[in-house]
Amino acid sequence: MVIYSFYIFDRHTECIYSKSWLPPSVSEAPSNPNPPDHPRADRRSKAARAGDDAKLIFGTVFSLRNMVRKLGGDDDAFISYRTGQYKLHYYETVSNLRFVMLTDTAAPSMRNVLHQIYINLWVEYVVKNPLSPVEHKGGEGVKNELFELGLDQFIRGLM
């Protein structure tokens, strides 16, 4: 299983954390013989592209979630979708945080993984971190060392 990237959106729909586990060479070389794994590997600068990715992903999950609720009732939730290139996993907390993870198409459900990230890393190292603010405007306080370390270890342990 390969995990491509991971995003957290807060309840103000802002992307407060994003991380990619793609080796830079893969995402930046469209001439790569294998089709680029990343869904949107275009030619613009990396930072701008990451920001755009986050916005696109939020738009997608937001619309999908609403559509699913409309069709299936308020209790229905969408869990993942798959394209030819990647699989997107979605987990929404009761507190309106949204966790999104992109993996390869063969990956099993990552709902549990996202839930684990939420309870074991987010709650422990961001919410219970005395040096982290309550609102994470611009991602403030999320990118702290313990959270980053824990997340990286956890994800690498899965791959």
Partner 1 sequence: MSFEAVMPPYNASDPNASFVGASCLDFLLIELVPMAYRITNQVDAASQEENTTPAQPDGQEQQQGTSRASLVSGSTRTVITKMDEDEERDAVFYRLETLGYRVGQGLVERFSRDRPRFNDTLDVIKFLCKDLWTLLFRKQVDNLKTNHRGVYVLTDNAFRPFSRMSTEMGGQAVLRAQPFLWFPCGVVRGALAAMGINATVQAETSELPGAIFQIKTIPAKAP
**Does 37 engage in binding with partner 1 (CB under 8 A)?**
no
Smallest distance from partner 1 to CB 136, Å: 12
Q: What whole-number distance in Å separates Cα of residue 13 and Cα of residue 63?
A: 13
Q: Please, which residue, 18 or 103, has the CB nearer to partner 1?
A: 18
What's the 3-state SS for 136-156? CHHHCCCCCHHHHHHHHHHHH
**Does 93 engage in binding with partner 1 (CB under 8 A)?**
no
Q: Please, which residue, 60 or 144, has the CB nearer to partner 1?
A: 144
Do 51 and 100 contact (CB within 8 A), yes or no? no
Smallest distance from partner 1 to CB 122, Å: 11
Q: What whole-number distance in Å separates Cα of residue 144 and Cα of residue 131?
A: 9
Exactly one of 14, 124, 154, 158 binds partner 1 (CB under 8 A); that residue is 124
Among 87, 94, 92, residue whose Cα is nearest residue 109: 87
Binding positions for partner 1, 48-77, rule CB under 8 A:
none
Tokens of 110: 């990552």
Exactly one of 90, 125, 136, 151 binds partner 1 (CB under 8 A); that residue is 125
Task: Report the interface residues with partner 1, using CB under 8 A.
Answer: 124-125, 128-131, 141, 143-147
